[in-house]
Structure 1
Amino acid sequence: MSSLSPPHRPGPGSTSRRPSARLKAATLIGIAMSFILALVVSPPAGAADTLLSQGKPATASSAENVAFPATAAVDGDPGTRWSSGFTDPQWIQVDLGQTATVNQVALSWEAAYAKAFQVQVSANGTDWTSVYSTTTSTGGNQTLTVSGSGRYVRVLGTQRATQWGYSLWEFKVFGTTGGDPGPGPGSKLLSYNAPGFASTQQHDSNCWECTPARAFDLDPASRWATATDSGWVDPGWIYVDLGATAQIDKVILQWDPASARSYQIQVSNDANNWTPIYTTTSGPGFKETLTVSGTGRYVRMYGTQRNTPYGYSLWEFQVYGTGGAPKTPPTPPADPANPPQLIWSDEFNGTAGSKPDAAKWTIDPGTGPNNELEYYTNNNNASMDGNGNLVMEARKEATPGSSCPIDPLTGSGTCQYTSHRMNTGGKFTTTYGKIEARVKIPKGNGLWPAFWMMGADFLTGRPWPYNGEIDILEVLGKDVKTAYSTVHAPAYNGGGGIGGSYTLPNSADFSDDFHTWAASWDSKGIVYTLDGRTVFTLDKAQVEATRGPWIFDHPFYIILNLAVGGDWPGPPDASTPFPARMLVDYVRVYR
């Protein structure tokens, strides 16, 4: 529930299914055609172009059902296929078993093809480098000439050509084994908090203090950008002083949408004479992991053609290798135990009428954001019911001028609705874990119950959305058959947040009973579940490769609230039942 955001507009639901008539027709036609088309999908490979992918392990972001697994695209059978869920993005990858130099990828698309996609390679299955990118694919059979090295090869679809998912009859990878092994022994991050320099830097209301240092601070929510007055020109550059001569073997760039189409990675011993060690004229933007080889004290990104009308901007510019004068970076947070252990909970087992535990919760009074209509009172609208539940109550006040609390912003009692919001800020935070609550939500136009998390640095002055927001449960009282889970970050927030909607089996009503919402969160992403069933998955690598930096690897605190009105749910009306009650059986955190 965005505290300072425009209304959420989550993407399409993940529970739709392709009509069976279309499925059967497409399957019959596809099987008949694919035997013919398989002959022309890829030309006969020469001695140096060996088919590497057939029969190798394959995985995917999703499968439409068990009949269409990822392995069906690499089994050599042109009559079987992989088919994904019906959302963007989606991916399929194959593990070649060893490092290979990849020079050709052949794709045979079913009718559900990708209009925009990338072919990527990786040494470890986590850090990906794009070797082919298009936004104008027409599907069918494609033979792509590429150049890259890695053990893993992935097709990452970012825009579907149809309302369905992505589907491949064949995914063939050709090349030779024994490619570049990647970073050598002893390679480490050399650029952390090293001095940075740039052609220009932005400092205004749109990008505050976007200095070169921001690209080297390991803070994915801060960035460098070229200045608006003179920096939206070519060329544009940024470089880092590693403090001493270093052998460079890897560079990671996390671009803002203002990225470089054509650029070089260059090294220098004097910051004047530069030697290119990587050149591209088709930079895809977002996250690029580059295997390079060069020696120098200074490393520069030198952009010569922009991908947008704007300038150049990097959230992260990381340089790896040996030598230099590196500073020790912070230790990444540890993933939860396996299995996770309960570390914090509130079972709300107090006596009837008792208030939330002040040792665990901070009451958050005041006027709600998002053009909401309620005033959150100082603990007047929440208490235990004596049956093991917290009751958060939204009320329509009969005489707003006298019975409502004083609004500290206006100095008068003018609120029409009151409700409750509380959080664990300053009392409990967690980085990673399984965060869950069992909740019964209210029904009624204008009601907006939520269970969510905010980055703890919000409490020490970092503004939203740079602190990060993880929404676990949001339901609109006007549509209690649909729930939403969403994340917000600088590169994707408000209406552009990354999220999913989902329903109960048989389109049941969420307000009829208690349900358990949970987010299982670790260094690889977040898996959202409802009553133990996975409803939405966020993969960190996918987000970085398609939307922008992942900013959720730091402490967050928990929030519960029941809003009334606002941009997204709209206002209550005569049919809205007041008082409206949100019941919480428990909140638990496992780590």
Structure 2
Amino acid sequence: MSSPSSEAKGDHESGTTLSQISPQVSPSEHSSDSPYVDSEAPKSVEGMPFSDFVIENDELHDYESQTAVKRHMDPRVILDLTTMSLVIAGIVTLFLGYPLIRFAGKPKADTKGGFNLGGTNATGQVPNMRDMRFALIDPDTPQDLLTKMSVDGSQEMQLVFSDEFNTDGRSFYPGDDPFWTAVDLWPWPTGDFEWYSPEAVTTKDGSLVITADQVETNNLNFRSGQLTSWNQFCFTGGYIETRIQLPGSSSVSGWWPAVWTMGNLGRANYGATTQGTWPYAYDACDRGTLRNQTDPDGLGPIGALRSGDTVFNNKYDTTSISWQPGQRLSACTCPGEDHPGPKDSSGNFVGRSAPEIDIIEAQVSNGIGGVSQSGQWMPANYGYELINTTGTEYEFFQPSAQLNSYQGNVLQQSASGVVNTRQTAYQYSGGDFSVYGFEYKAGFDGYIHWISDGQRSWSLSSGALAADDRVGISRRPVPQEPMYILINLAISSGFGFIDWANLEFPGKMLIDYVRVYQPKGQINIGCDPEDFPTQAYINRHIEAYTNPNLTIWGGTAAQGGYQQDWPRNRLYPDGCTNPASKYPGPNPAAAAA
């Protein structure tokens, strides 16, 4: 948005002209007895009339002599004026010319994502703070780590972003850092027991430190932190790596530490922005975009109505595969609707969303520490089952690695592999660190390779996300959206059993570094790339992206709604001609009721 400007205007008034007045006094105005008039004034001097009397050398009164005087300027005056001119010119140059010259010579910031108002910060939140760096690559990153080979060793990758967290006492309150922001909110979507506060996030002894403790905050019993690079730093494709010390003990369950990524169109814990965008990764116009992943009438296909009968859906008392409202920014969006774009060669919108790929979510099972490394998807396969026709659509590379028994529920399909961690890389169990990450190629021919303890743990190819006729959906791409980074430490019974009796406080999660690499010649960083733009859409709906109390996109204020119209989907009967609605689906009145 451009800031309003005003122009100061003023009128020049003409000053009053003062005439020169030469008072003339005639002798007749004075009486002879006036004390100021000499009645005996001489009439002549030595025979000359008084009017002809001139004092010698009195050029002031000799008008003829004055006309002959040569007018000239003293050299000292010239020198003084020259000096004053130089001083004035110097002042003008210093306070006006230099800023203009400096501004004109300054490189214009790229408008792609993390390179607009703030140089590297898409929000423009860049204060003047001592020791703050703005380069994407941390100067503390060792020179021999500026490049590395891909996971399969087939190509060299170059470092495009790093943070070594070597400066102690960094602040991550909004606006305090060009790359990261610590949020201040309750993560209600996962029913957490903690409040995320910037107070819980800092740097010390060369690591990022997130502390979870028993500090009552905003009516919750615990305080912890979440750090994100949303709308500040994003990347598409490549390899992200981090070195982590997990909180607590490797044998006590209860902590939920996670390092993960998400598409920039959805801001985590800002429900209005994630409704209908998370965790979709879809660019087809079919029933996969519709509410509950069913036909427009809601009566089929049978796979969508029955294959959700899993143990993880028991609490929902349903057999449906999806309770999602539909993909809000789908490839079926009607012309003229509010959509971030772009359009494909046929003039239809590209399907947009907020997909998720997790580096880790740590858990303890049967007294052994492990991590889930996953991607979250919608629409879902039949029964949430990944396709593995050839047996190579997903593979495992560590002895303890295996497919997670949890594969999804009515809100998401989870392609998750679990693997045991290094048992000494915990706060109270050795104090070591361990390396985790993933490499991915975006698109319909993409893949994801996950890393645990510095080694590949498992891989997923795009073949596992192929079309599934049983539920009538098309193939899904490996996420193509610009992805931002999230780091958090939570406490929630929604992720696993909490052993309150043995859980030690405070819990501390330490991050030694975060580094992002991309193949040479394929650099794609920024939160607003041309083929998957986000900034203009975010700006149009900035309230939804900055108010965590807005929990749904449409609805009413009483429902916590942002009260915006849902983009119309052309697959519904009269979809593009129906009146606008603040609810998804074919029957807004029924949905509202």
TM, length-normalised to structure 2: 0.38
Per residue, is there more helix in 1 or in 2? 2
Q: Which has the higher contact order (CA 8 A, sep 6+)?
A: 2
Per residue, is there more strand in 1 or in 2? 1
Pick the structure with greater CA Rg.
2
